[in-house]
C-alpha cells in the first residue's frame, strides 16, 4: 500500500477517534499528495521518492513556521506547528544520525578522491544522491565541509 493509502486509513482512524488536530494535518498531507498526482505531466501515480519529498517539504514548512512564531512570542501557534511536524515525521523514513552519515561521507570522499574544499561539489552531488531522504541537506553539507577541511 502506498503513502496515499496509509494516509487515507489514518484519516479514517482519526475521524473515528475524533482527533481534530491530527485530522487537520493528515488532510493537508492528502491534499499535497492529490495535487502532485493530478498535476500536469505527473502521470497520476505517486512514487515513494516523490512521497518522501512532499512529506519533507510539509515538515520543513511547519518547522520554519514554528521558528517564526517563536520570535513573535506566539507559543499557542508554535505548539500547533510542532505537533503537525511531529505527525508528518511519523510518515518519513527514519533519519540517519550524524555518525552514520559521517561514515558514508568518508567513503564517498575516499571513492571520489576529494582532497579539499574545492572538491565539495563533487562530493555533495554523490552524497545527496545516496543520502536523499535519509539525512537533511544541512547536516550533509556541514559534515562535508568539516571533513574536507581536515
Residue among 89, 85, 40, 80 at smallest CA distance from 62: 85
**Mean pLDDT estimate for the chain:** 89
**Tell me: the pLDDT tens digits for 98-126?**
899 889 998 998 888 888 888 888 888 89
Domains along the chain with CATH numbers: 3-89 (1.10.1510.10), 98-148 (1.10.10.410)
pLDDT of residue 38: 87
pLDDT at residue 42 is higher than 70: no
Confidence band, pLDDT 50/70/90 cuts, at residue 72? very high
Confidence band, pLDDT 50/70/90 cuts, at residue 78? very high
Residue among 36, 75, 78 at smallest CA distance from 57: 36
Average pLDDT estimate for 34-54: 82
Average pLDDT estimate for 56-78: 95
Average pLDDT estimate for 6-31: 95
Residues 6+ apart with CB under 8 A from 37: 4, 44, 45, 46
Higher pLDDT, 137 or 99: 99
Residues 6+ apart with CB under 8 A from 110: none
Average pLDDT estimate for 51-69: 93
Residues 6+ apart with CB under 8 A from 107: none
Amino acid at each position: 500500500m502506498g503513502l496515499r493509502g496509509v494516509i487515507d486509513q489514518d484519516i479514517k482512524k482519526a475521524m473515528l477517534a475524533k482527533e481534530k488536530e491530527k485530522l487537520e494535518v493528515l488532510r493537508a498531507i492528502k491534499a499535497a499528495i492529490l495535487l502532485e498526482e493530478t498535476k500536469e505531466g505527473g502521470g497520476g501515480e505517486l512514487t515513494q521518492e516523490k512521497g518522501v519529498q512532499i512529506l519533507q517539504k510539509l515538515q520543513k514548512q511547519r518547522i520554519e513556521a514554528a521558528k517564526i512564531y517563536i520570535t513573535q512570542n506566539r507559543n499557542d501557534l508554535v505548539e500547533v506547528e510542532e505537533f503537525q511536524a511531529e505527525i508528518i515525521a511519523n510518515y518519513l523514513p527514519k533519519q540517519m544520525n550524524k555518525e552514520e552519515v559521517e561514515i558514508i561521507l568518508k567513503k564517498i570522499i575516499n571513492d571520489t578522491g576529494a582532497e579539499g574544499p574545492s572538491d565539495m561539489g563533487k562530493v555533495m552531488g554523490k552524497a545527496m544522491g545516496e543520502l536523499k531522504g535519509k539525512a537533511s541537506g544541512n547536516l550533509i553539507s556541514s559534515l562535508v565541509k568539516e571533513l574536507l577541511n581536515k
